[in-house]
Structure 1
Amino acid sequence: MSLSKITTTVGLNIGTVDVGKARLMFWDLGGQEELQSLWDKYYAECHGVIYVIDSTDEERLSESKRAFEKMVTSEALDGVPILVLANKQDVETCLSIPDIKTAFSDCTSKIGRRDCLTQACSALTG
């Protein structure tokens, strides 16, 4: 898909990627507050979470943190590994990884005994 055609997810997008003999299925769930009530419907089949943060949108960071906190406290995701992607790191004014970790530090105890990694990324540059 052309980068110019990628837009904010509204609702749900489903995609698959074949890697060797494995087929990975991705459920791209919209992050708007009114759509977050749908997320838990997909947790039962989930083997890993990739949580994407817009690191240029400081105004919505607290909303993102609340959604993340609600997600990690779901019993259905107990022990499921989480990858937090801080997107738009190619933008000069983005929040750094240490800034994001500080903002989400209250959630650390709720992550529990599971793997969790925060990684910088850019959908445009990789």
Structure 2
Amino acid sequence: MYTLFTGLYKQWTQKEEFYVIILGLDNAGKTTLLEKIKSTFSGIAGLPPEKIAPTVGLNVGKVDVQSTRLNFWDLGGQKELHSIWEKYYSECHAILFVVDATDSERIEEVKVTFESVMTNDTVEGVPVLMLANKQDVSGALSVHEIKEIFNPIALQLGARDSKVLPVSALKGDGVRDAVDWLYLRLQRNKVNRPPVFQR
């Protein structure tokens, strides 16, 4: 009888966990985005923007959406760190790719980087959300312009769930919409990439 109750208790208290990697070039706003996600979903203020330093290695953030825990891994965007990204592909359930929409000079580098991520066999079937960040800055590329640049790569994704959304990681505009989109795709993709269960 005790075993039955402990088994039921464990099942009721288990939480689905998903892992989302945040990728993009350095200075795209990945860490600012992570801080805004944490503060939006926890209600606790994150680090102020002036205290956010470039990521060397990995930043981790956890938020609960309904009865599910989303673990975000913010990976450093410097070119020399890109080789480390692959180590996280097999464990991730989704990819958040952040683009600095104000940096048109590096858009070709972004395109090449994004293509190398998307053509890696390990991420096949993983939902991908591209965020056109810094939409609060005048002169930023619009979502439509970013879609035009990245559509040829998106065609390679085939039936995979993918989308481009506008955000301002600094102001928080679009952050909740982005996480809501991810949450739904993670739930739909459980057969392909099942969640991890933690108590």
TM-score, normalised with respect to structure 2: 0.60
**Partner of residue 49, structure 1:** 95
Query: Where does residue 131 of structure 2 map in the other structure?
Result: 85
Structure 1: gaps of 5 or more residues: none
Question: Is the counterpart of residue 94 in structure 1 residue 140 in structure 2?
Answer: yes
> Larger Rg: 1 or 2?
2
> How far, CA to CA, are the matches of 2:54 and 2:103 in structure 1?
13
Q: How do 1:1-126 and structure 2 match up within 5 A?
A: 1-125=47-171, 126=173
In the alignment, the residues of structure 1 paired with residue 89 and residue 146 of structure 2 have an alpha-carbon distance, to the nearest angstrom, of 24
Write the distance in 2 (CA, Å) between the matches of 1:58 and 1:9.
22
Query: Which amino acid is 1:60 matched to?
Result: R
Task: Specify the SS of the correspondent of 1:45.
Answer: coil
- Paired residues in the alignment total 126
Gapped regions of structure 2 (runs ≥ 5): 1-46, 174-199
Q: Percent identity?
A: 50
Letter in 2 for 1:46: C
Q: Offset at 1:36?
A: 0.9
CA contact (8 A) 1:69 1:110 kept: no
Comparing both structures, which one devotes a greater share of its residues to helix?
A: 2
CA shift for structure 1 position 35: 1.1
Query: TM-score, length-normalised on structure 1?
Result: 0.92
Please tell me the root mean square deviation across aligned C-alpha atoms, in Å: 1.3
Q: Structure 1: how far apart are the matches of 2:169 and 2:67?
A: 26
